[in-house]
């Protein structure tokens, strides 16, 4: 498991490369840490919706409502929503919720243990844990997961046809809108209820709340699931890593940051579009062209991280880009760190001798740019 070997060569020989994507469109592939860091916060770049990119000149301009998440929002609407989310996603609020997050982990591990050994850890724990935490915090019914997960994963993958994309967009928007209506009738102690109360009856702010709900469905849990799954694989595949973290919990804060840096979940899935020409390394990125700032490559850049391909659980000064940067940096970064920390701590406490099975190795989706195990058979 790791980022493509070509990243090191691209950083050295061709840090801004023009590439053709699977859907036939072209984009600029940017791999050096400094460039990726700057581009993620560059106001000359915006994130298009899956309805808007790649350009389809033969398609009608009116393609229905877009799948607009917080990543695609800009301007005052985006700033107002982030301000409303500052307190619910703050370090203080997440710290208060840590006991509830740990309870969620323990409930799932109780059920996982009841299934007997060996067990399949992705479906039994690593996938449902971040989803359950997100649902309880945001106010999305966990019991609806079989309905919204397939649509959310299709939107997150962005590897759908235009017609499938339109259908996913329509169904996800309708689901979130119905959920917001329910929060008005039946308020709860959750973020959606809070936001709905603040925005009523402002239609513009209602659209912002809808975007937040879509963000949580499409990416608010799945990235954490991928990081947690990859973290466990990373700790178990080299002798001594899991035991070291089990026996020295003081390592956990630095280890979490290093796992976030080292794990190549974000293999080129951040797609931005230039709104004006940009000069970079002697190349001209024209307005309208797409840019892929590759976070997984930036986080393995030896000029910023000494021995970058080595997992160093003691690494300090870890300025990784796992949560992005600038106006669209991940507002849920504190929650994601808490999920990774608590998720690992609960596993270390419950299964101090956890190990991969010899008979069945983990399975992977080799076609997806976002890498995480599909199955992870373990014993203890």
Q: pLDDT tens digit string along 326-360?
A: 888 888 999 999 999 999 999 999 999 999 999 99
pLDDT in tens, 93-143: 999 999 999 999 999 999 999 999 999 999 999 999 999 999 999 999 999
Mean pLDDT of 262-271: 80
Superfamily of domain 6-379: Cytochrome P450 (1.10.630.10)
Q: Is the pLDDT of residue 180 over 80?
A: yes
* 139 contacts 191 by C-beta, under 8 angstroms: yes
Q: Quote the CA–CA distance of 358 and 296 in Å, as a whole number.
A: 29
- Whole-number pLDDT of residue 79: 84
Over the range 35-57, which residues count as b (16 or more CB within 10 Å of their CB) and which as e?
Answer: bbbbbbebeebbbbbbbbbbeee
Could you give the CA distance from residue 24 to residue 366 in angstroms, rounded to a whole number?
19
**Tokens 């119905």, residue located:** 178
Give the H/E segment covering residue 35: helix 33-40
Contact 111, 193 (CB under 8 A): no
Query: In angstroms, what CA-CA distances link 321 with 191, 234, 262?
Result: 26, 19, 11
For 11-25, 332-346, 360-374, which range has the lowest pLDDT when averaged over its residues? Answer: 360-374
Mean pLDDT of the chain: 87
Q: Per residue in 184-219, pLDDT tens?
A: 899 999 999 988 887 655 654 667 888 888 888 877
Per the CB < 8 A criterion, the answer to whether 213 and 140 are in contact is yes
Instruction: Provide the 8-state DSSP code for 126.
Output: I
Of residues 251, 306, 292, the one with CA closest to residue 158 = 292
pLDDT (average), residues 68-89: 81
Segments making up each domain of the chain, as ranges: 6-379
What is the number of H-type helices and E-type strands within the chain?
15, 12
* Strand, coil or helix: 28: strand
């Amino acid at each position: 498991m790791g980022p493509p070997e070509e990243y090191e060569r691209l950083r050295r020989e061709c840090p801004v490369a023009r590439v053709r994507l699977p859907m036939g469109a072209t984009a600029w592939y940017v791999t050096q840490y400094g460039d990726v860091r700057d581009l993620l916060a560059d106001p000359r770049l915006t994130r298009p919706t899956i309805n808007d990119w790649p350009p389809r000149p033969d398609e009608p301009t009116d393609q229905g409502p877009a799948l607009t998440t917080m990543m695609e929002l800009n301007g005052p609407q985006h700033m107002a929503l982030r301000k409303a989310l500052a307190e619910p996603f703050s370090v203080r609020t997440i710290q208060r919720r840590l006991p509830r997050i740990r309870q969620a982990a323990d409930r799932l591990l109780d059920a996982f243990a009841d299934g007997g050994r060996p067990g399949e850890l992705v479906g039994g724990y690593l996938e449902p844990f971040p989803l359950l935490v997100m649902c309880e915090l945001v106010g999305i019914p966990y019991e609806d997961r079989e309905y919204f997960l397939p649509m959310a994963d299709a939107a997150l993958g962005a590897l759908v046809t235009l017609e499938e994309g339109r259908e996913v967009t329509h169904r996800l928007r309708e689901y979130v809108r119905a959920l917001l209506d329910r929060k008005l009738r039946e308020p709860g102690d959750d973020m959606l209820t809070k936001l709905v109360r603040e925005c009523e009856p402002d239609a513009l702010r209602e659209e912002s709340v809808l975007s937040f709900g879509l963000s949580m469905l499409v990416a608010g849990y799945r990235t954490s699931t991928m990081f947690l799954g990859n973290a466990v694989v990373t700790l178990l595949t080299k002798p001594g890593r899991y035991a070291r973290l089990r026996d020295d919990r003081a390592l956990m804060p630095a280890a979490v940051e290093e796992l976030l840096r080292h794990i190549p979940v974000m293999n080129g899935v951040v797609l931005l579009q230039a709104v004006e020409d940009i000069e970079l390394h002697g190349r001209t990125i024209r307005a309208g062209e797409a840019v892929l700032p590759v976070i997984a490559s930036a986080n393995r850049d030896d000029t910023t991280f000494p021995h970058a391909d080595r997992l160093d659980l003691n690494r300090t000064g870890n300025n990784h880009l796992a949560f992005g940067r600038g106006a669209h940096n991940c507002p849920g970064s504190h929650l994601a760190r808490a999920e990774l920390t608590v998720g690992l701590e609960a596993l270390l406490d419950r299964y101090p001798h956890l190990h991969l099975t010899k008979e069945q190795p983990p399975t992977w989706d080799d076609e997806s740019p976002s890498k995480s195990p599909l199955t992870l058979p373990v014993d203890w």
